[in-house]
Amino acid sequence: MANERERPKADTGPGDGAPSSAGKDSTLVDATVPPIPHRILGPEHAPSTTTSIPIAPSTSGSLSSQASLSLSSQASLSLSPSTSLSISPSASAATIPPGALPPESMRLPDGALHVAGQRFEDGAIAWVTDPWTGDRVAPVVQADAAQAARAAEAAKDAFEATRRMASFARRRLLKEITRRITVAREELANLIVRESGKPKTLARFEVDRAIVTFGLGAEEAVRIGGEVVPLDVTESTAPYRGHWQRVPRGPVLAITPFNFPLNLVAHKVAPALACGAPVVLKPAPQTPLTALKLAEIVRESGAPPDTLQVVPCANEVAETLVRSDAFAVLTFTGSDEVGWHLKAIAGKKHVVLELGGNAACIVHEDAPNAAQLAALLCASAFNYAGQVCIKTQRLYVHRAIADRLLADLVPRTCAYEPQDPKSTTAAIGPMIDERAAMRVERWIDEARAAGAHPLAFGKRSQNRLPAALLRVDGDGRGLAIVEEEAFGPVLTVHVYDAFEDALRMAGATRYGLQVGVFTDSLSRVREAFDRLDVGAIVVNDVPSVRVDAMPYGGRRDSGIGREGVRYAIEEMTDRKLLVMRG
């Protein structure tokens, strides 16, 4: 039988080891685990009262378990656990009250609407709220259909200037944006914490990643080349010569989620500016402030007018933008349901969709670095309350090492209790809202009712949900917590006997984003690479590894196209051919 632990005092939470903000190596920090509050534990996995728990993300080079895409669970077009097009329910038709703006010392961005070279502070407003405290942070003006149309036309006009920018000028602009983000690092991190509930250390890490992303954009701006094409392949075409070069398709419409309000925006804005395309950005309704601050930085960096316009708006208004012929490219990060709907109404645009997933991780009996496995897996599954689309959601463990790994996983899972995200020791804060937390809790309860064994889980308090670890017999087909994108702090564990069984279970999903495989066997790595229909296989690390320079994207319901600055530039550009005779 399971037993319930006594609740300790509120200030006795474990000191979680947070990832290094440099984005290179992770830091392991020992934490003494007190009696676990409201934890249900199988007796064979109950931790001692003073277990040393190093909690940290991947120790791999570059970016690890907390790095990725993600997505908001509040889309009114889709109640799936991904991004949204929805407006905050607190929207109201009014001018921003003179006394409503927070003190200047908070250095919040201007919440007015900046489109077509003009500033609008009249109209509907929506309040951004702090997910941890529920306090109002700032009001943001919402664009109506007419203002959105003006932004689209302004982007079309701006394209005539941006497409003619020399590569050195685009590089210089992106370097200046990078410099200004670096200067504003702490300010941006505080914005991310306040509007998304992301723990402070992870928020700083996100800003550092955005600095890298814009830096890559500056480098790639002068590398957009072409190719000489031999046309003298027959006697009749002997006089012809040809070459092609990449040119921007046109203005870009970008729609982004709440969970990485800076770096996922950067992954759309940086490649667009690098190739000479203006952007209209529709941010998530929960997290527009970081995007508005970035737009200020872009304007102050000397960008041509209307190069980046941020347009917070309602679903219906966003759909008018998606249908608009002013845009040549739609790039969307969010839920599969919303993404495929937008693709269907996008017309002739080139569409890039970065959608969700239920990432699997396979740990075979010959896995190296066994001592670090539990720390890597927990950081990947639970950091930022699991609100990352490539977080480890399904874990497949070989029977020979299952008991040993679980004995380490359970106490580490218990250490992941929600903490104030402003604390530098926090690894898990609130979920974006109570509705999202209730959905994950409901899926956990459904799995338990269907026979899943709870190894560790806690009681939800509003939008605060402790990490949960469930052992599931077999592949778990039919369970939402296995088959759908959880987007929350939960990990299911499945034990297998043959590597082929692990591949079969890991691949039995409609998603195809990334999979982690721990093994020392090159033949097994090749087998996994050949058989799993996903965007990437990560060997000897968790599936939440994302390096901002790599081609990133999914297959099947996880999307189409690729991000990563160089590869996003390929999506936003087309080959233009010059044929010459003589």
Range of the domain at 468: 3-56+360-543
Q: Do the domain assignments include residue 85?
A: no
Same domain, 289 and 143: yes
Q: What is the pLDDT of residues 511-524, one digit of tens each?
A: 999 999 999 999 99
Q: CATH number of the domain at 257, please.
A: 3.40.605.10
Q: Do the domain assignments include residue 69?
A: no
Same domain, 284 and 372: no
Is the per-residue pLDDT at 388 higher than 60? yes
Selection from 109, 459, 480 nearest residue 298 by Cα: 109
C-alpha–C-alpha distance, residues 462 and 187, integer Å: 28
Same domain, 371 and 401: yes
pLDDT band at 582 (very low <50, low <70, confident <90, very high): confident
Question: Which residue in 389, 417, 483, 484 is the catalytic one?
Answer: 389
Same domain, 161 and 309: yes
Question: Which residue in 176, 206, 319, 354 is the catalytic one?
Answer: 354
Q: Name the phi and psi angles at 288, rounded to 5.
A: -85, -20
Same domain, 290 and 367: no
| Residue 121 a catalytic site member | no
Torsion of CA 403, 406, 407, 410, to 10 degrees: -160
The pLDDT value recorded for residue 183 is 97
pTM: 0.83
C-alpha–C-alpha distance, residues 441 and 431, integer Å: 12
Same domain, 112 and 260: yes
Same domain, 351 and 365: no
Cα dihedral 377, 381, 385, 387 sign: positive
Same domain, 108 and 44: no
| Residue 500 a catalytic site member | no
Q: Do the domain assignments include residue 81?
A: no
The pLDDT value recorded for residue 249 is 98
Is the per-residue pLDDT at 18 higher than 90? no
- Mean of the pLDDT values across residues 56-81? 32
The pLDDT value recorded for residue 107 is 82
Q: Do the domain assignments include residue 62?
A: no
Same domain, 407 and 334: no
Residue 93: count of CB within 10 angstroms of its CB: 10
Provide the number of structural domains found in the chain: 2
Same domain, 311 and 364: no
Same domain, 249 and 379: no
Same domain, 313 and 410: no
